[in-house]
Amino acid sequence: MKNLKNVMSVITLTLVMLVSFNVHAQKNEYSKEQVEDVKTKLRQGMNSFVESVKPFYKKGMSFEEYKLVLIGKNNKNITVEGNALLKKAYIYISNSTSSGKIIDEDSTIEFVKALSYINKSNSEKKSSDSEFLLFGSTMGNTFPLANNTSNKKDYPCRWYQIRCHLVQLFGDSTADDILVAASCAFILLIGGSC
């Protein structure tokens, strides 16, 4: 548990440093408020994702059944990051975890790793198919419920559109900053450099 807290501290500090790069150049320090702001944004992103996949859960479903409903035949190709993100959402949903508790307590690890995968894959492949690849689709929008948005009629995001959830919450430029910061945080965690 102590190790997990250390990892989260490294992720949070790295995200703050990257998201607030312009502030860093002027102040050379990070406030507790900036750290908390980044944590909150990532937790809100996770909550948004959970809310988008919640309508497809039926009480008593196993994780494998739930994954099959969302991903269909692609479930054999799902990435480790996509599987971990769906598993975390499934746990929250099957345990009836409130949005407030997710926003207050989520570790953000699964969400950061998924964002990191998307950002890295987009930059390496110079394509925008990373959100499909994250959840196992190698041929674009082939998920059984791909055209279903969340239960909010005016909400434009499909369940698998992680970046779209961030844009809806924070706007285009902040969503991009969060994607870049998450990617770098993960690279630093595995011993690389940004």
Secondary structure string (H, E, C) spanning the chain: CHHHHHHHHHHHHHHHHHHCHHHHHHHCCCCHHHHHHHHHHHHHHHHHHHHHHHHHCCCCCCHHHHHHHHHHHHHHCCCHHHHHHHHHHHHHHHCCCCHHHHHHHCCCHHHHHHHHHHHHHHHHHCCCCHHHHHCCCCCCCCCCCCCCECCCCCCCCECCCHHHHHHHHHCHHHHHHHHHHHHHHHHHHCCCCC
pLDDT at 52 over 70: yes
d(CA 33, CA 120): 28
Average pLDDT over residues 147-170: 69
Residue 141, pLDDT score: 58
- Give the residue, 34 or 151, on which the prediction is more confident: 34
181 — pLDDT class (breaks 50, 70, 90):
low
pLDDT of residue 121: 80
Q: What is the mean pLDDT of residues 150-177?
A: 71
What is the arithmetic mean of pLDDT over 19-42?
Answer: 59
pTM for the model stands at 0.73
Query: Average of pLDDT values for 154-178?
Result: 74
Look at 9-23, 52-66, 87-101 and tell me which has the smallest mean pLDDT.
9-23
| pLDDT greater than 80 at residue 44 | yes
Pick the most confident of 46-50, 68-72, 117-121, 176-180: 46-50
Higher pLDDT, 152 or 163: 163
- pLDDT band for position 89 (cuts 50, 70, 90): very high
CA distance 48 to 168: 9
Confidence of residue 149 (pLDDT cuts 50, 70, 90): very low
Q: Write down the pLDDT at residue 6.
A: 44
Mean pLDDT of the chain: 73
For residue 14, pLDDT over 60 is answered with: no
